[in-house]
Structure 1
């Protein structure tokens, strides 16, 4: 009988003859520029936040923005790894095992960031081959797959997983791509960070979001804050200054 908790929404059937070492190299080559773009954008967000906080407080802008932004990103990654935050990590894990009955290889994909998932689809390393218990998941199987074929998938994944969890496949061959922590050389890439800087509209939105997430002592205090939102937005819009490359670079280039 199929385990009712069997759930493999991120499963693939690899192409026949797939060389795992070649697959690992292909994944790392394809994912490196994606990870770089994600990381640059994240550091840019932290840099903008540091500058905007100074603008809103009416204090001088910090002089080591890119250093501080890279450090802030590293701290944020540590918080994700410790479970304090639920944000995406800049890594991809692929776990591979074979079906002992047929010898065909299957893979579980764990792209921690949505941008990685899109790139994995472009690589076409195999056929998308998911399975989940329809009743338990409250979701029907994909259109065009018969009940008999869906059951065959369940049996296949049961054999492939060999009792391990599809979400913690520690007993499978693993390909880990990327380091969750930011690269140290980002401190020398101020121009790239500047090019990924959030727009003024995004900066205003973020500052308003920060205000909205504060704690209020009473319902009346909350209502007063909501009523003053137009004034808060106007203050933010007039306080935030343009960001230049020099603001980002500090002592870096």
Structure 2
């Protein structure tokens, strides 16, 4: 019977002759710009949230909010690492080893962000070669993969993993890309943060979501009364949120 814990959703059979150092260089070249973009977008979201909170409260906007936004991102990462939040980290981990029977090279990819996974699929590192237990996950195998081929994959990954946990492998060549915590240099990249700023529509949506999330109701009637006021709240939020400029983010052009 197949081991129920065998789960390799991002498994690859690498192209024959793959050089591991070259593979690491290719992955870093492809992934680091993606990580940079994601991190900038996250800092922009924190900056917008701080500015919008002031707009909605009718108070002066905080100065050079980029400092606060980078700090907020740092705190958020700490909460992810401590298990308080389940958001994805801006990192990629790849574990590579061989099949002791055939000598072929296999890789387990751990892309924390969907953008990383999409890029991995486009890099043509080899054959996408996943496996999971259909009984345990209640997810069918990929279309076009026969039961016999799926069983072969289970046997292959069992040999490749050599008993290590496929979600936290040991004894393999490990490539790690990106740091969990944001780069302090982000405070000098106000123009990039401004370019990644959420749109007015997105800011309104986030403010409405925050408003609804913070409500508590003691009766169905209170809930229905609040729902009836949502159009008024949306109109108030739309009229309160001001445009965001470079000066709002960093106190002037940088």
Give the TM bin, normalised by the shorter chain. Answer: over 0.9
Which residue matches 1:133? 133
* Residue 24 of structure 1, CA deviation: 0.9
Mapped contact 2:246–2:252 kept (Cα < 8 A): no
* CA offsets 1:84-103 (integer angstroms, 9 cap, x no match): 11111110000111111111
Please state whether the residue corresponding to 1:169 is helix, strand or coil. Answer: coil
Mapped contact 2:98–2:160 kept (Cα < 8 A): yes
* CA offsets 1:23-57 (integer angstroms, 9 cap, x no match): 11111111111111111111110110000000000
Which residue matches 2:29? 29
**Segment drifting more, 183-192 vs 141-150:** 141-150
**Segment drifting more, 94-103 vs 3-12:** 3-12
Q: C-alpha distance in 2, partners of 1:252/1:143?
A: 53
Q: C-alpha distance in 1, partners of 2:144/2:50?
A: 51
Do structure 1's residue 235 and structure 2's residue 236 form an aligned pair? yes
Which residue matches 2:192? 192
Q: C-alpha distance in 1, partners of 2:160/2:248?
A: 53
* Residue 148 of structure 1, CA deviation: 1.5
Please state whether the residue corresponding to 2:97 is helix, strand or coil. Answer: strand
Which residue matches 2:66? 66
Unaligned runs of 5+ in 2: none
Please state whether the residue corresponding to 1:18 is helix, strand or coil. Answer: coil
Q: TM-score, normalised by structure 1?
A: 0.96
Please state whether the residue corresponding to 1:95 is helix, strand or coil. Answer: strand
**Segment drifting more, 139-148 vs 29-38:** 139-148
Mapped contact 1:66–1:250 kept (Cα < 8 A): no
Which residue matches 1:202? 202
Which residue matches 1:46? 46
Which portions of structure 1, spanning 4 or more consecutive aligned residues, are displaced by more than 3 angstroms? none
* Residue 252 of structure 1, CA deviation: 7.1
Please state whether the residue corresponding to 1:109 is helix, strand or coil. Answer: strand
* Residue 139 of structure 1, CA deviation: 2.1
Please state whether the residue corresponding to 1:204 is helix, strand or coil. Answer: helix
Q: TM-score, normalised by structure 2?
A: 0.96
Q: C-alpha distance in 1, partners of 2:187/2:103?
A: 47
* CA offsets 1:145-177 (integer angstroms, 9 cap, x no match): 222111111000001111111111133221100
